Every structure is written in structure tokens, then in C-alpha cells.
Structure 1
Amino acid sequence: MTDSPGWATPGSEPSDGDRSGAPADRPGPAAQPPAPPVQPAQPPAQPAAGPKWSAEQPPPGQWSSPAPGQQAPPQQPPQGAGWGADRPQPGGPYGGQYGPPQQGGPYGYPGGPGPWGKPPAAKPGVIPLRPLGLGEILDGAVATMRTHWRSVLPITLVVATVVQVISLFATKFMMDDLIITADADMTPADAINALGTTLSVTVVTQFLQYLGTIVVTAMLTMIFSRAILGQNSSISDAWRDSRAQLLRLIGLTALLGGGLIVLAIVLMLPAILSESIGLIFLGLLLWVVLAAWLGTLFSLASPALMLEKSGVFKAFSRSAKLVKGSWWRIFGITVLTAIMAAIISAIIYYPLSLIGLFGFGGGLDALQDGTATTAWGTLIFSAIGLIIAQTIVTPFQSGVTVLLYVDQRIRREALDLELARAAGVENYGTTGG
């Protein structure tokens, strides 16, 4: 991996317990040499070649060797000791139950909880460089949106606005002559015409949404990758870093979506031909299960494609490799994120849609005569609601996906060492970190 956010293709995948890339000779607390024994009648021996001791040694009279010909003074307990006069008071040089370790001392880590504890993980950016919990993943996505909003929000706002404006005019002019009512006198030809027009509008709007989502996902992935390193990223930087992979990301998304459609056809076609309602529900249920499994298995393909600069099929393979053994965890976090995004979108979208319908779209009368779906007031306020919702929800979901990818690589491939090096964290991974 280089210092840029476009991470190189990793090597082999070790197990969670055997993290390749970590230094084999990383010293831990148990590897520190013991203090030299006190020799009362001899001058202190010269230290042998080995690890360098810190310059901040304990004050004289506690752990230093006596001068030649001088007996070692007896150790006196400090004043105010706990269990009586013979118990050392907390605050000794060894940390742990005797107080915090001395800064830079040989038996403790700077800022660590004690000599035998692990120091806090480095955090150059929005997440600590260690395996992440659910709260840290969600908080990292929100922190990136809050800290780097000058890059995140304009991207999603502009793309969402363009998509919704085009969708608004497409809906208005393609469905303007279509009257959808609950009239029982509607002929089969009218029903087929209404269904065809509705499907055409749906295809156009979903295609625009599909292209916009790909562009946003590609650029936001690069912004999140830099935010992990504590680096800022402008809109131009995000576009420059992501544009080379845009066509591949389009192909990856189309291949995944097309595969799910083909799977649905294969599962539902026999049931439709046999005209069996039971088989239709069984096929639908089986499709939902397989779609959830495949969607989770390949959920990390997009960040793998963008950050490793790989091909489409290599990205699918990398995602399956990273998800293996953690499917339920990634599935649960993805579902929770989708539920949160749906709630946020509903809170924003539906009030504005109701304002457009009852304030400017004709209200209940428009619903009855079928003109509500093409009224300017309804369309405009619905578009505004979607723009605001997508501006907030899209970067949140993209951020969770990127952080899940990073978390899995930290757990399996010791990516934290590479991230620390790229972020300029000195001595990370060589002092027990």
C-alpha cells in the first residue's frame, strides 16, 4: 500500500489470530529486560548492548545502585500508604495498581493503562486503527460527514438534484396524459397502457438514480479513505482519484443487479408456467433468501474495486474472501444501516410530499380524479424531499460500507499497520501498538 488512498492489492489472507504484516519481533511488556540486581559492594556494571533505556529513569534513592563501598539504603514505604504503613502508595513507577506508568519509561507505554496493558490504538482520522465495533463504524460514518461536509454534501446534493430534476420532468411529461383512477369501467387496454407508461417512467427514473448512485459512491469512497488517514479531500481530488474506476464500478453494479434479476426469473418462471400460487410464494421466498446471501457476500466489492484498483471479478472475489466467516455480522450491520436510512428518509420525504399534495397538488380531489401524481406541487415537493433525504442518507450508507471493508481488512490482513504508515504515525506496531 502506498501513502495514497488507492490501496494496492493485498497479499495472502492470514487468519484473524495471525495477522501478517505485523513485525515478528514486536516487543511487548513481557519482553522488557529485568532491572539489574543491586550489588552493594561493587560498582555498577556497564550496560550490555541491547535495547536503549529511556532517559527518564526513576529518581535517585529508589532504584539506582549505591556508590562503591556504600551499602544500599533500606527501602522506606511512602507516607499515606493504603493497608497500613507498609503498603506502597499508588503512583509508583510500574503503573497498574501502583499508578500510571512513567512517560517513556521502560516498563510502561506512554499513555497506556499500565505496563501489562495495551496502549490506546492510534487514531489519525475518523476511526481508531484496530478492529471496530458497531458504534465505531456508525460514528465514523457520521464523523466523516460532519468533519468533511464541504466535500461530502456538495457531491451528494448536486448529483441528487440533477437526478431528481430530470426524473421530475420525465414523470410530468410521460404521465401527463395518463389518468390513473379507481374507476371500475377501465378497459383492459387502458390498464395495459397505464402499466406500460408507469413501467417506462420507473425504468427511466431508476436508471438515472443508478448512474447518480454510482458516481456518488465512487467519489465518497475516496473521501472516506482519506478521512481514515486524517487527510482532507476536495471534490476535485475525489473525482480525480475515482474517475478511472467509474466504468468498472458501473459494470460491477450492473452485473450484480442483472444477476439478481436473472435469478428471480429462473426461480419464478416454473411457478408462473404452472400457475401455482404456492410455488410462486415459495420461489419468491427462495429468491429473497438467495438475494440477501449474495448481496451480503458481495457487499464489499465496491470499496475493494475502488481502493485496490482491481477488476470487476477480482473485486467480487475479494469481497467474498473478506466476508467469509463474518457474514452474519456484516448482514446485521447492513440491515441496521438500511433501516436507519429508511427511517431518516421517511421523516424527511413524507411530510414534504403531503405539503405538496394538500397545499399545491389538489388534495383529496386530485387523488380521486388521478391528477395528483402529475401535479406540479406534488412533484416539486416530493423531489425536494428526495433531494434532502438522499443528501443525508447516501453518504451515511456509503461510509458504513467503506468502514466495514476497512474493518475486515484490519481483522484479517493487519491493514492497520499500512494505514498507520500511510498516515505518518511513527513507530506504530513496534512498541506494543
Structure 2
Amino acid sequence: MNDSPGWATPGSSPSDSERPSTDGSAQQPAPPAQPAQPAGDPKWSAEQPPPGQWSNPGTTPAAPQPQPQPTAGWGQQPGTPQAGQYGPQYGYPGAPGQWGQPPAAKPGVIPLRPLGLGEILDGAVATMRTHWRAVLPITLVVATVVQVISVIVQKFMLDDLAISASADTGPDELIDAIGSTIGASAVVQFIQVLGTIVVTAMLTMVFSRAVLGQQSSVSDAWRESRPQLLRLIGLTLLMALGAVLLGAVLILPGILADAVGLAVLGFLIWLPLLAWLAVKFTLASPALMLEKSTVFKAFGRSSKLVKGTWWRIFGITLLTTIIAGFISAMIVMPFQFLSIFAFSGGLDALADGSPAAMNSWGALIAPAIGLIIAQTIVMPFQSGVTVLLYVDQRIRREGLDLELARAAGLENYGTTGG
């Protein structure tokens, strides 16, 4: 009994004869009616040869030769399907070899079967390459808006720092400068988080269509993701609030008791616990968007899908983060050097702490351009890996490939020939 939700992403819906029944099984179209046998006609007798053994007129059909059954070997368990039996199951006309399993159907960027690491990464890159008309405008516009706001906020933030760095600055001015700095940083982080949420929501819809081999547009992605945006914001805020509260419970007692060892111990407990929770709920965002669920149901779905495969998802997520960080560093570094040597007076000006070396428009705009380019490339890659991890886990646990095949319009997928 499969109680998992269906594939809620838009796509070609199955015909009435192929819609799932109430018990979760797919209804197959009724076979065409056979012509009635004429009564008393000797040509229609019970002595007809079995199907598949009709011979040409005037020839005698040869008796079928028994085929030797292969023994279980090379990891094959007794009772498993033998060679040539995978064709009808995957909509494939026949097995390519005696022992070869035919490739799974691939209507879009991934094959409809459990995915490996390389297929998940390749699927994310293939979506960016094939559907770039929808992917790049989304990330480019959001990254540009975020960086423009960040540059403006940092400009005034660095001005306050320059004032506070003077020799005759009193304690009150110093406290005000620190407060404005913290407030400006909070505004920048909030804008970046909000932009990331919008990108994640829209790209989730683009990747869900790419799995089915369907094209997307920016307007389609926005229309399909907009109803779930507020819930996605709530989910993100709950995760951030949970991380802060968990750190406060573990670290704050040591700080209040003026016990450095206790505070350090709480911090060392907080980090791995935070990583465990982050991986446990890493699939909550695609579950929320694609299943049209509520925030708490999305947390529960992610926990269920990750259960038993935490280390695998952790490894793939960590590798994706490392790749994204390396790509971002390679793109931003030249613009950072340009900011230092062309607009900030070089390393000597930075070492002297000159305000002009930090708050000039050129020094702020140059690295911002690098960040725009980097985020335009990195954000869809990371979002795509998360969505494909969600699809992979549902294929492994819930047989989502059957629903995806029907949504993609593949006929006879998952049926056995007979």
C-alpha cells in the first residue's frame, strides 16, 4: 500500500484509461475486443496453434526447442528476471544481449531509475545547458538585484566604519557604528536569503519539468511556484530559527556561567547536531514545492526520504558544496584582485586601513560583478542537485519512475510482456 503523494509537477496528464485507480495501481487500457467466432465454422476450431507459432502456408511448424535456463551467478539471485525480460518492462522492444539489461527510459535529463552520483551531477548540468533560457534569466535577475542592494548597503556601512576609526571617536559613536554595521549586515543577509528562496522555488519547477523532458519559461516557473512562496519562506525561517535556538540551548549556559570549557563543549555538540539536522531536512524544500504540502508535512517527508541514506545524501551535498565553492572562488578572485589593485590603491592602502581603500564605488562594484556571475552559475547547480536527490529518493523508495513515465507520456512503461 503506497501512501506517498503523487507527482504534483505540471506535465502531460495521463489519459482517462491510464489514470491511477483508487488503490494506487495504474489502470491499463482495455484490450480491443476480438471478433466473435462464427458458430459451426470448421475454420474456427479449438485446435489452433498457440500464439507466436504460426507458419507459412504449406509448411509444417517445427517443434519448439527447449531453451536452457541460466543458472544463478554473478550476483544474480534465483527467481530474478532472466535476460530478455526487461524489454517490455521499460518500454524497450528487446534486450540488447543475452545478459544485458536495456537502459531505462530517459524522457528528460535523467534516466527513470535509481541514480548514481555522476547522473545526479550530470542531470543538474544538463538542465542548465538545455533549459538555459529559463534558468539563466531567473538566477541572473535575482543575483543582480541582491548584489545591487548589497553594494548600496555596504557603501554606507563602510562610511560608518571610517568615522568610527578616527582617533577622537568616543564610546557612544563607536557603539552606534557597530550597531549600524550589524544592522546593515543583517539587511544584506536577509536580502540574500530572500533571493535564494525565490531562485530555489522557481528553479524547482524548471528542474521538475526537465525530468519529464518538457520545456519551461520564466513566466511558467513563476506562476507555478508563486502559491508556495510564503510557505517556503516560512520553512526557511523555521530552519534558521531552529539552528539559532539549538545553539543558544547548548552554548549560552556556558557563557552565562562564565565557564569557557562548558561553552566550547556546547559548541562542539552543536556543530555535528546542526549538520545532522541540515541533511535530515535537506529535501524539505523540493517536497514542499512539488507535493504542494504544508511546512510541517514537508519536514516529515524529508525525514522519511532521508532515513537510512543520511551518509549518502551528506556526501553528495558536501561534494556539491565544495564544487560550488571552488567555481565561485575561481570566478570572484580576478574581480577581487581588480578591486584591490585598480580601485583600492593596492595592498599598501589596505594595510594602512585607508577608508578610500574600502568604500570607493569601484572597490565595491568590481567584486559584486564577480558574485553576480558566480551566483548565476552556482545557484542553479546546487538547486538542481537537491531536486534530483529528492527525485532519486522517491524512485528508490516509492517507485516514482512509474508516475514520471506516465506524466511524460511513455506507453507500456512498467508493464510486463506476455
TM-score class, shorter = 0.7 to 0.9
Q: State whether structure 2 residue 418 is matched by structure 1 residue 418.
A: no
State percent identity of aligned pairs: 66
Measured after TM superposition, the shift of residue 58 of structure 1 is 10
2:161 aligned counterpart, secondary structure: coil
Aligned partners of 1:272 and 1:280 also within 8 Å: yes
Alignment partners' CA distance in 1, 2:27 and 2:216: 35
Q: Could you tell me how far 1:362 is from its partner in structure 2?
A: 2.1
Cα distance, 1:6 vs structure 2: 5.0
Q: 1:184 to 1:66 in 2, by over 3 A?
A: farther
| Aligned residues of 2:343 and 2:363 also touching (Cα < 8 A) | yes
Is 1:244 equivalent to 2:227 in the alignment?
A: yes
**TM-score of the aligned structures, taking structure 1 as reference length:** 0.76
1:54-94 alpha-carbon deviations (Å, 9 max, x no partner): xxx8997xxx9726xxxx69x9xxxxxxxxxxxxxxxxxxx
Mapped partners of 2:94, 2:165: distance in 1: 70
What letter matches 1:46 in structure 2? Q
Task: Please state whether the residue corresponding to 2:277 is helix, strand or coil.
Answer: helix
Aligned-CA RMSD value: 3.5
Q: Give the Cα separation in 2 of the matches to 1:365 and 1:22.
A: 72
* Cα contact 2:279–2:310 (8 A) shared by 1: yes
- The Cα of 1:129 is off from its aligned counterpart by 0.3
Q: Which amino acid aligns with 1:389?
A: A
1:273 alignment partner, one of 256, 260, 263? 256
Answering whether residue 330 of structure 2 is matched by residue 342 of structure 1, we say no
Task: State the Cα distance separating 1:21 from its structure 2 match.
Answer: 5.9
2: distance between equivalents of 1:238 and 1:139?
A: 22
Contact 2:105–2:112 (CA under 8 A) maintained in structure 1: yes
Say if 1:22 and 1:351 are closer, same or farther in 2 by CA, change over 3 A.
Answer: farther
Query: Partner residue of 1:175?
Result: 158
Is 1:356–2:358 an aligned residue pair?
A: no
2:374 aligned to 384, 389, 404, which one? 389
1:388 deviates by 0.6
Alpha-carbon deviation of 1:23?
Answer: 7.4
Counterpart contact for 2:160–2:177, Cα < 8 Å: no
1:369 maps to 2:350: no
Deviations 1:85-107 (A, max 9, x none): xxxxxxxxxx97xxxx79x99xx
Does structure 2 conserve the Cα–Cα contact (< 8 Å) formed by 1:4 and 1:422?
no
1:210 deviates by 0.8
Query: Structure 2 stretches of 5 or more lacking a match?
Result: 12-22, 29-45, 66-81
Instruction: Tell me how far apart the structure 1 counterparts of residues 382 and 201 of structure 2 sit (CA, whole Å).
Output: 13
Cα offset, 1:351, TM superposition: 1.7
Cα distance change, pair 180–303 in 1 and its aligned pair in 2 (3 A): farther
Residue 401 (structure 2) pairs with residue 399 (structure 1): no
Q: What is the identity, as a one-letter code, of the residue corresponding to 1:244?
A: P
Deviation readout 1:96-127 (Å, 9 max, x if unpaired): 7xxxx79x99xx95252336653311000000
Distance, in Å, in 1 between the alignment partners of 2:315 and 2:273 is: 16
Change (3 A) 1:247 1:226: same
- Which of 50, 55, 66 is equivalent to 2:60? 66
Preserved contact between residue 6 and residue 308 of structure 1 (Cα < 8 Å): no
Q: Deviations over 1:305-343 (max 9, x none)?
A: 000000000100100010111111111111111111111
SS in 2 for 1:177: helix
The one-letter amino acid paired with 2:400 is: L
TM-score normalized with structure 2 length: 0.79
Structure 1: unaligned runs, 5 residues or longer: 8-19, 26-43, 76-94
Confirm or deny: 8 A CA contact 1:22 1:429 kept in the other structure: no
**Aligned pairs, number:** 367
Q: Which is worse superposed, 320-329 or 270-279?
A: 270-279
Is residue 306 of structure 1 aligned with residue 289 of structure 2? yes
Query: Which of 177, 192, 195 is residue 212 of structure 1 equivalent to?
Result: 195
Residue 208 and residue 147 in structure 1: after superposition, are their counterparts in 2 closer, same or farther (change >3 A)? same
